[in-house]
Amino acid sequence: MGIDVLSFSILNGILYGMLLFLLASGLTLIFSMMGVLNFAHASFFMVGAYFGYALSGRIGFFPALIVAPVLVGGIGALVERYGLRRVHKFGHIGELLFTFGVAFVIEEAIQMVWGRSPQNFEVPAALDFTAFTLFGTGYPAFRVFMLVVSLLIFGGLALLLTRTRVGLVVKASLTHPEMVSMLGHNVPLVFMAVFGVGSALAGIAGVIAGPLLVTQPSMAAAIGPILFVIVVVGGLGSLSGAFIASLLVGFIQTFAVAINTSVADVFGLFGIDTAPTFLGPLFTDIWSVNVAQIGPVVPYLLLVLILLFKPSGLIGKRA
Amino acid sequence: MVHRNFLAVSGLALMTAVPAFAEDTFKFAMIDPFSGPAAMVTERIENVLRYSVDEVNAAGGINGQQIEILTFDNKMSPQETAIQAEKAIDAGARILQTSVSSGNTFALVDFVKKYNRRNPDNKVIVFDGASHDPAITGEKCSYYSFSWVLNSEMKTKGLATYLATRDDITKVFLLNAEGSSGLTTRDLVKEMVGEARPDIEWVGDDIHPLQKVTDFAPYIAKIRASGADAVITSDWGADIALVLKAAGEGGLDIPWFTYFTTGPGAPTAIAQAGLDGLVYSAFDGDAGIVSDELKAFEMAYREVTQQSASAFPGDTSAIRGLVAAAAAAGSNDADALVAALEGISLTTVYGAEAEMRPDDHQILAPMAISRLVSVPPTGLDEEGTGWGWENVALIPADQVTLPSTCAMDRP
């Protein structure tokens, strides 16, 4: 692997990882604070992208980057207040099924409003230039912008949760809701706010990813599964875990693509050039599969291994 | 995900549970994914089909009967396709059409083969609107099914013919998705383009997961590192949109030869990526073909739907073929129609002469190589992007025609 390929892969891995972190941060926040695994999270991300698209046409991209997440957060808060709170008393299974249903309702609603075809959500003109060039490949300013926003959110959230009174109340509300309530805090309001902020984070990710990916009704389903991988691998409820896992998944996926080594090549080093036929046709197929082909599946393999050998995740406290 | 689709579809099924079918119409069933990610393709196909049928009905229908379109959701599953085919026949459908996936088309062809054997007095016909798989008119061919688009083998032949004129391209990177369609096309490209241009060097041959990759930037870096001066890809849907956006972002300015960029979403992605004149489409045709007839049709169609009709030529051809066959047969009986459809001539939406080959029921028509460029406001653009197709080569029908491999079981 040459130095140019190596540097591309590191850069791509970081950029993709940060996009994933933007999304996973809201999911893990909701989980760590409320114990709810929110299946509708990727759907809020999609709503963010569509709102961002609709608003940026009227008020411009940067105002939309503020307004759209606020609206998505508002929807999230309403979902918590009038849906999740009622379902809460039936336990986690009820909550899980409820968010599952919400995801579906959101997808259909989006199709009713915007139709099924992709929307023409463009990168704002102010960020539509090449930030820097490395070995002949230009890196778009928009991706660098995304990187900056992700880092700001990571820093901001970490500070909010560990260094402020708000974070203290939020964390205490989860473990000792009655005590917090007796101290005069409105615990249900805290939960509603946490869910709202979590959804708003997904909304921000949506507005940023909308122009980068394709703004279409299947975008939630496309990105949903990998988010759960990140949250589980990082450790359910751990913000730093999600950060590390996002980068890990980003690196795995980008580096895998760059590697052309297959089983055949490995054996080739030992002078064995043809697939042993006595192991059957299945093995002959596996023989020629290279790392690039299986790269995108590796994160899911990682998920399985983590669940088997370290169920609490890389940094998680929760088993 | 399975559960989600299941919920989606049962909701839709409830809504359509009490259909009202007119008694005296000629019923044409569309069995396609009306839910799930592929629904956006189905939506476009349905529009083209309905528009063509409305034209026919306004002119008096076929043998005095109006054509009525019935829609059935196959949820993108072959098993469900067979179940919906049964329902369609119960509702009185005489022609069953499926377009979106070859797996579904195979299921429908097999189902109808059995059905027609068991119900010789009530036969039905299969139309393949856009599945592109050569097997449908090859090993799976049937006397009762007709394919209305050029299959991927023919398209690759046409692409090879065009590339024979492009001496500037010598290093090609192949990028395809896993799955039968991607792998078959990749092998065909290597064989046919390799034969037309033995000097071409394959500097890369990557297979990526189907519709699962969200970040194609690493692939773009790999293509650049390979020193390729062109990419050939059979990617479609979200894959082609994302890979082209990544190419635009990475500033990779080499031509892309594609099969499915006329479809929904791709022109939007190409325009966003700013790949002006770099993305070539090897397809049955597109709105860039210079033809007054096509232009008039497109203008009228866009007036109604705000979309382009040329991306789905199979449906206009199917209806035109059906109308011509019904007139020749003088009857709407299935056997009479099949006999008349064999060898029927028609003019495609692109204004080209086409013929339904009797040997394997594969349409034979010219194809086009075009590239997407920004067009003046008066031109025909795609998806409201201000970008439209510019034709660079028309490949005559005899250059894309391959010998029939069908051993047809005729009654």
Question: What is the residue extent of each domain of chain B?
Answer: 2-13+21-131+311-348, 153-289+367-399
Mark yes or no for CB contact B238/A216 under 8 Å.
yes
| Distance between A259 CA and the closest CA of chain B, angstroms | 10
- pLDDT (average), residues B31-44: 87
Q: Quick check: B82 pLDDT over 90?
A: yes
Distant-in-sequence, close-in-space partners of A165: CB < 8 Å, separation ≥ 6: none
User: What pLDDT, on the 0 to 100 scale, is given for residue A319?
Assistant: 44
pLDDT by residue (tens digit) across B243-257? 999 999 888 999 999
Can you tell me which residue has the tokens 């919906």? B84
C-alpha distances out from residue B394 to B153, B275, B352, Å: 17, 22, 10
Q: Quick check: B40 pLDDT over 90?
A: no
The whole domain housing A35 covers 11-220
Window 9-28 of A: residues touching B by CB (8 A cutoff) are 9, 12, 15-16, 19
A21 contacts in chain B (CB < 8 Å): none
| A211 is a domain residue | yes
Class of domain B2-13+21-131+311-348: alpha beta
- pLDDT (average), residues B28-48: 90
B238 contacts in chain A (CB < 8 Å): 214, 216, 218, 222
Window 241-300 of A: residues touching B by CB (8 A cutoff) are 253-255, 257-258, 292-293, 296-297
B288 close to B388: Cβ distance less than 8 angstroms:
yes
The partner residue sitting opposite A296, judged by closest CB among B39, B213, B383, is B213
| A274 is a domain residue | no
Mark yes or no for CB contact A118/B241 under 8 Å.
yes
- pLDDT (average), residues B28-41: 88
Q: Quick check: B33 pLDDT over 70?
A: yes
User: What pLDDT, on the 0 to 100 scale, is given for residue B39?
Assistant: 84
The total domain count for chain A is 1
A237 close to A58: Cβ distance less than 8 angstroms:
no
| CA A210 – CA A120 distance, rounded (Å) | 9
A8 close to A257: Cβ distance less than 8 angstroms:
no
| CA A69 – CA A71 distance, rounded (Å) | 5
Lowest mean pLDDT of B8-12, B136-140, B343-347, B391-395, name the range: B8-12
| CA B319 – CA B375 distance, rounded (Å) | 31
Is residue A127 less than 8 Å (CB to CB) from chain B? Answer: no
Q: Quick check: B18 pLDDT over 50?
A: no
Lowest mean pLDDT of A168-177, B55-64, B219-228, name the range: A168-177
Distant-in-sequence, close-in-space partners of B203: CB < 8 Å, separation ≥ 6: B171, B172, B173, B226, B227, B228
User: Percentage of chain B with pLDDT > 90?
Assistant: 75
pLDDT-derived band of residue B23, with 50, 70 and 90 as boundaries? low
Nearest to B136 by CA among B172, B179, B181, B91: B181
B175 close to B243: Cβ distance less than 8 angstroms:
yes
Q: Quick check: B392 pLDDT over 80?
A: yes
User: What pLDDT, on the 0 to 100 scale, is given for residue A275?
Assistant: 66
User: What pLDDT, on the 0 to 100 scale, is given for residue B355?
Assistant: 96
User: What pLDDT, on the 0 to 100 scale, is given for residue B393?
Assistant: 96
- Residues A176, A180, A186, A192, Cα dihedral to 10°: -30
Residue type, B307: Q
Q: Quick check: B352 pLDDT over 80?
A: yes
* Residue in chain A nearest B215 by alpha carbon: A16
Q: Quick check: B2 pLDDT over 60?
A: no
- pLDDT (average), residues B274-292: 94
Lowest mean pLDDT of A127-131, A282-286, B107-111, B263-267, name the range: A282-286
Chain center to CA of B165 = 26
Do domains B2-13+21-131+311-348 and B153-289+367-399 share one topology? The answer is yes
Lowest mean pLDDT of A180-184, B66-70, B142-146, name the range: A180-184
Mark yes or no for CB contact B383/A292 under 8 Å.
no
In DSSP terms, B202 is beta-bridged to: B172
User: What pLDDT, on the 0 to 100 scale, is given for residue A276?
Assistant: 67
- Token couple for B332: 């709407």
Task: Provide the sign of the torsion angle of the four alpha carbons A47, A51, A52, A57, taken in this order.
Answer: positive
A251 contacts in chain B (CB < 8 Å): none
- Residues B214, B220, B223, B228, Cα dihedral to 10°: 130
Class of domain B153-289+367-399: alpha beta
Can you tell me which residue has the tokens 């083969």? B113
User: What pLDDT, on the 0 to 100 scale, is given for residue B22?
Assistant: 54
A228 contacts in chain B (CB < 8 Å): none
Mark yes or no for CB contact B214/A216 under 8 Å.
no
| CA B93 – CA A77 distance, rounded (Å) | 49
Is residue A90 less than 8 Å (CB to CB) from chain B? Answer: no
| A266 is a domain residue | no
B187 contacts in chain A (CB < 8 Å): none
Per-residue pLDDT tens, chain A, 319 aa: give them.
677 778 878 888 898 898 899 889 889 888 877 778 899 999 999 999 999 999 999 999 999 999 999 999 999 999 999 999 899 888 888 999 999 999 999 999 999 999 887 888 888 988 888 888 877 677 888 988 999 998 998 899 889 888 999 888 888 887 788 898 899 999 889 889 989 999 999 999 999 999 988 888 888 888 888 998 999 899 877 888 999 999 999 998 888 887 777 777 777 777 777 666 666 666 666 777 777 777 778 889 999 999 999 888 888 665 4
A107 close to A216: Cβ distance less than 8 angstroms:
no
Lowest mean pLDDT of B77-81, B208-212, B341-345, B363-367, name the range: B208-212
DSSP string computed for A204-231: HHHHHHHHHS-BSTTHHHHHHHHHHHHH
| A154 is a domain residue | yes
pLDDT-derived band of residue B12, with 50, 70 and 90 as boundaries? very low
Mark yes or no for CB contact B272/A123 under 8 Å.
yes
Mark yes or no for CB contact A116/B40 under 8 Å.
yes
What number is the ipTM of this complex?
0.80
- pLDDT (average), residues B210-224: 86
User: What pLDDT, on the 0 to 100 scale, is given for residue A195?
Assistant: 92
The conformation of residue A82, written as its DSSP 8-state character, comes to I
